Amino acid sequence: MLLSEEQISLADAARDWLARRTDLAAARADGAALAALYSADDVRAAAELGLTSLLRPAEGGTFADLAVVVEELGRAGSPLPLGQAALVARLLDQIGIGAAVSDAVAEGSALAVPAAAEPDDAAISGVPGADGTLVLASRAAVVVGGLGAAWLLVSAAIGDDRALALVPAASVTRTARTTLDLSRDIAAVDLHGVTVPAGDWTRVGADVAETLDQALAIIHTLDAVGAAGRLLDLTVGYVKEREQFGRPVGSFQAVKHHAATMAVDIEASRLCGHDAARTLDSGDLVAAGTAVAVAGSVAGEGTSRAASTALQLHGGMGFTWEHDLHLFLRRIKVDELVRGTPRRHRERLVATAG
Amino acid sequence: MEREIFEDEHRQFREVVREFIAREITPYHAQWEAEGIVDRTVFAKAAKHGVIGFNVAEEFGGGGVRDFRFNAVVAEELAAAFVTGPGFLLHNDVVGSYLSRLPDGEQKARWLPGFASGEAVWAIAMTEPGAGSDLQGIRTSAVRDGDDWLVSGAKTFITNGIHSDYVIVVARTDPSAGSRGISLLVVERDMPGFSRGRNLDKIGLHAQDTAELFFDGVRVPSRNVLGKLGGGFIHLMENLPEERLSIAISAVAGARAVFDSTLEYTKTRTAFGQPIGGFQHNRFLLAELATEIDIAQVYIDRCLKASFEEKLTTVDASKAKWWASELQQKVVDRCLQLHGGYGYMTEYPVGKAFTDARIQTIYGGTTEIMKEIIGRSLGV
Ligand SMILES: Cc1cc2nc3c(=O)[nH]c(=O)nc-3n(C[C@H](O)[C@H](O)[C@H](O)COP(=O)(O)OP(=O)(O)OC[C@H]3O[C@@H](n4cnc5c(N)ncnc54)[C@H](O)[C@@H]3O)c2cc1C
């Protein structure tokens, strides 16, 4: 069994709630990507359901649980970066800074998201300054949820050491990125010269930085799995109804096989994704590194392939703006490529195998 | 690989087209995309420079050359410049092939001068809400009334749907005759009962107008029947190969354009101290794509040769269409990955191509329908 009974009810609860809350029309509006597409009320309601505190050590939540929630966020096409926020709350608790922010996230009065360099880019660097401050340099090119968040947890390198620093989002320059994805806000964050006061940052072990990277990769994998699952449902529904040549197009063998291949791709992606989350829960970061890389390469390409087939099977309809299909197709493509492309994940596999 | 298909006259024409695009299209393209439609005067401007209308006889104001290589040059240059707005290919290649074969003398005199000068924009309306892949399923009807036909029905996804002054409408003129009861009727802009829906919002090709068209008892005179009465389906079969070839040509050229811009990116962007193109994985991937694009090009050029020799078969055009358009998807997809984490930024051509190019495997006959046609020709 992939999921426990509790996880199944968690998934059901999240799915119901997200279905009621998510307004995909907002993602289709002009300039949608230029601002966060959710309200303070949405964040509060998510917190009330426990979705932002899920990973806090005191709640006993696991990455496996988070995986369940993130899959539902993808399925809904939700703009809420709840996986990222739950991750920040956990890390803050773990490293002993920003207790008030962690509480605020858990209560839903603010959102915090991680800001880390993309895997192919140089790390964000930090230099310890006077009075225990940390002065940051460079930028985070892609911060999912970065426009709407009140706080950023910056993953920085101090020489060979790692540090996490909590930065109020309003104190840095954030630029909306125009990406394929219209359903989530994505920002570039300029951290040049940002001075983080003592107490708001700390050196961390490589394991903490690694956990953050792996968890972020898992979030994008499962987000894509959920979105692709939604596309499979939409597609199967459509090909059963759409008639050509006097019969449903879903009755043609080629179409059936396309749908079956989508299902196989998505199921394989789902298994790898949940496996990665469980392995991360085990605390064995080497094993988790492998599982995350497998998930990233299998799911990255598998979910994208499924999304492309979904569009094909919708014919001309799939190319229309009004249809929800493209919102998921776009989101899946971005999920494939952020936090490590499939190629990058394969490289990591070679490194860990080696 | 050096292409053997073009002569000097095509190479000179390419310069003209390239210059025209750089001057009259590229500077306005982003604005047209924002507006959802091109400025229609671009058709007349293009005709003035011979970019369209060259395939019409000189006596009607055209260039008098029926040689699909010129069409290919236009398709390739538009793709190379990432221009998706002006419906030149639909007007000039697709409708052009119908108008070069079917009109009688009187119709030629009436229609060709406007077509050639780009003053009149043309469209062809086959698809209906209920009939896409299955063209025999069309329900738009034309009922005889004296010397005229009364056309009723709805079409959808019609390229140049807003700008068109003339629409070749595929309609059922004899409901009892199956595929032999389908004819082509030319509906004109001001005919009462003809109306247009909105310009459909699409996920790509934002500057291209695509519309629903409605016909409510539109009175179309007999002299506007194009080709043989009841021969509509055969005319479609005769002309679809050129439409499919046109899509295949633009698909290969589009793939090449994305490839070229990605190659440039992999040469300039560095990771771990070397250009990312230098990593063997990327180098091999680029090598594979370059190979496949060249191989596709050779096949397409062979089809092009068959076309200007009037020998292009439906089956060969179908092979070209599905293979080239699927290759384009693959190239775009791989190139997105080659941009590392950044290909999905829409400021990169490859990010934009991800949505613009996606329709190529669908319109003009889907990949599945192309394989149906090819498979049936194999006797299976
Ligand atoms: C931007 C754009 C421009 C267009 N321009 C024009 C135009 O100018 N004029 C015009 O007439 N039309 C135009 N079209 C319509 C286009 O040609 C149709 O969308 C296309 O032919 C597919 O038809 P459909 O959308 O109804 O898909 P459907 O026929 O409903 O197909 C749905 C899915 O079922 C599959 N399928 C259908 N039948 C079979 C089968 N027998 N075996 C296996 N699989 C099958 C298809 O491959 C597809 O994947 C345009 C469309 C778009 C999006």
Fold of B234-377: Butyryl-CoA Dehydrogenase, subunit A; domain 3 (1.20.140)
Chosen from A34, A178, A180 to mutate, greatest number of chain B CBs within 10 A: A180
> For residues B376 and B109, what is the distance between their CA atoms, to the nearest angstrom?
40
- Per-residue pLDDT, B346: 86
Closest CA–CA distance from residue B243 to any residue of chain A (Å):
17
Q: Say yes or no: A129 and A184 in one domain.
A: yes
Long-range contacts of residues A165-172, Cβ cutoff 8 Å, at least 24 apart: A165/A126, A165/A134, A165/A136, A165/A196, A165/A200, A165/A201, A166/A92, A166/A97, A166/A98, A166/A101, A166/A112, A166/A196, A166/A200, A166/A201, A167/A115, A167/A136, A167/A191, A167/A194, A167/A196, A167/A200
Average pLDDT of span A182-197: 96
Fold classified for B8-120: Butyryl-Coa Dehydrogenase, subunit A; domain 1 (1.10.540)
pLDDT in tens, B261-280: 999 999 998 887 889 888 88
Residue contact A333–B200, C-beta within 8 A: no
- Segment A54-83 shows an average pLDDT of 95
Does B252 score more than 70 pLDDT? yes
A239-243 average pLDDT score: 98
- The number of C-alpha atoms within 13 Å of A142 and in the hemisphere containing its C-beta is 23
- Give residue A107's domain range: 5-204
Structural domain count of chain A: 2
The residue whose CA is least distant from atom 6 of ligand 1 is B158
Tell me the residues of chain B between 4 and 63 that have a Cβ less than 8 Å away from chain A. none
Question: pTM for the whole thing?
Answer: 0.97
Cβ neighbours of A150 (radius 10 Å): 17
B190: exposed, middle or buried (Cβ count in 10 Å: 0-12, 13-18, 19+): exposed
pLDDT in tens, A281-310: 999 999 999 999 999 999 999 999 999 999
Does A245 lie in the same domain as A146? no
Q: For residue A342, what is the domain's CATH number?
A: 1.20.140.10
Please answer yes or no on whether A316 and B157 come within 8 Å at the CB atom. Answer: yes
Domain match, A107 and A158 both: yes
Domain ranges of chain B: 8-120, 123-230, 234-377
Query: Cβ(B300) to ligand 1 under 6 A?
Result: no
Mean pLDDT, rounded, for A40-61 = 93
Q: What is the mean pLDDT of residues A7-19?
A: 96
A176, A204, A232: which is the final residue of a domain? A204
Instruction: Tell me if residue B59 is catalytic.
Output: no
**Residue B102 reports pLDDT greater than 90:** yes
Q: How far away is chain A from the Cα of B345, in angstroms, using its nearest Cα?
A: 4
Checking if the pLDDT of A1 tops 60, the result is no
Chain A: residue whose CA lies nearest to B350? A180
Please indicate, yes or no, whether residues A296 and A186 belong to a single structural domain of this protein.
no
Q: Write down the pLDDT at residue B343.
A: 85
Rounded to whole angstroms, the Cα distance separating A60 from A62 reads 7
Same domain, A200 and A213: no
Averaged confidence pLDDT in chain B: 96
Q: Spell out the residues 6+ positions from residue A247 whose beta carbon is closer than 8 angstroms to its own.
A: none
Residue A175 and residue A285 in one domain: no
- pLDDT score for A31: 72
CA of B251 relative to ligand 1 center, distance in Å: 17
Mean per-residue pLDDT for A91-100?
96
Domain containing residue A102: CATH number: 2.40.110.10
Measured CA angle at A93 (ends A90, A95), to 5 deg: 105
Q: Mean pLDDT score of chain A, rounded to an integer?
A: 95
Angle at alpha carbon of residue A31, lines to A26 and A37, rounded to 5°:
40
Q: What is the pLDDT of residue A354?
A: 58
Out of A255, A304, A343, closest to residue B281 by CB? A343
Is B346 an 8 Å CB contact of chain A? yes
What's the gap between Cα A105 and its chain centre? 17
Q: Which of A182, A204, A226 is the last residue of a domain?
A: A204
Task: Say how far apart CA B22 and CA B15 lie, in whole Å.
Answer: 11
How far apart CA B234 and CA B376 sit, in angstroms, is 17
Please give the Cα distance from B178 to B196 (Å, whole number).
Answer: 28
Number of CB atoms found within 10 A of residue A26's CB: 14
Statement to judge: residues A175 and A262 lie in one domain: no
Q: Which CATH architecture has domain B123-230?
A: Beta Barrel (2.40)
Nearest atom in ligand 1 to the alpha carbon of residue B131 is 26
* Listed residues A146, A181, A204: the one ending a domain: A204
> Is residue A306 domain-shared with residue A261, that is, in the same domain?
yes
